[in-house]
Amino acid sequence: MKYQVIDSHCHLDFPKFNKDQAEVIERANEAGVIKMINSGVDYKTNRTSLELAKKYPQIHATLGLSPHMAADADQEQIKQVLNQIERNTDKIIGIGEAGLDHYYCKTEKGKEKQIAAFKQVVELADKYNKPLVIHAREAEDLALELSKHLKTVVFHCYGGSLETMKNIIDAGHFVSVPTLVCFSENHKEIADHLPLENMLIETDSPYLSPRKGRNEPSFVLDSVPVIATLKQIEESEIAQATVQNTRRVFDI
């Protein structure tokens, strides 16, 4: 094992891991992934994230309300998830993923619903002093505007502009580089310009695999040499810095 890393964002409770979840976690452990942060997106995955965190000491949960859910849900469903997050704040290391996705959501009504739900999640993060994990797509500026006053924010799987990223960093917040960096020129540019002290790394498993097929937490190691080459520093320095940053952000 060359160095240890943390996968700061994954979804090990998603159906793609139904058959071999325990083996996937074991592979991550063996590869040097010392912590995995499992993010809920709705009522069901929030519950399964809590169950995973209870079962495995190296897995921590964040509970969220994804913009995809927010656009489609009714007020009662939104309230149910917000109450669920609030009931479990003592068991989680952060709130999210939550945010705005105007790439998938094209209707004004859907966008308004996303914004209204996101504002409520931001209030919870503020009230309980928890880091907020943001999913923002084609709405990064607005997501930052609504959350920058919080103590700690992580823009997970960030794919926005360098200008907005600079504003995120100037506000003292963090950006998580996904395994997409292994093949996406846009994410390479982001990683290149992102200061090491504001960087986390993630897989977003089971999505965005740097290899063929399903992504998994052990693949987070694939991104380390790519980022090290971009920044012209040692791989171990990337690993060490991102571990320290993730520990600081989530207090783990």
- Rounded Cα distance between 42 and 220, Å, is 24
pLDDT in the model for residue 66:
97
Q: List, in sequence order, every residue forming a beta bridge with 7; answer none if it has no partner.
A: 36
pLDDT tens figures, 101-127: 998 888 999 899 999 999 999 999 999
Is pLDDT above 70 for 1? no
pLDDT in the model for residue 181:
98
5-250 has which fold? TIM Barrel (3.20.20)
- Rounded Cα distance between 24 and 51, Å, is 16
pLDDT tens figures, 160-204: 999 999 999 999 999 999 999 999 999 999 999 999 999 999 999
Locate the domains of the chain by residue range.
5-250
Sequence-distant (≥ 6) Cβ neighbours of residue 127 within 8 angstroms = none
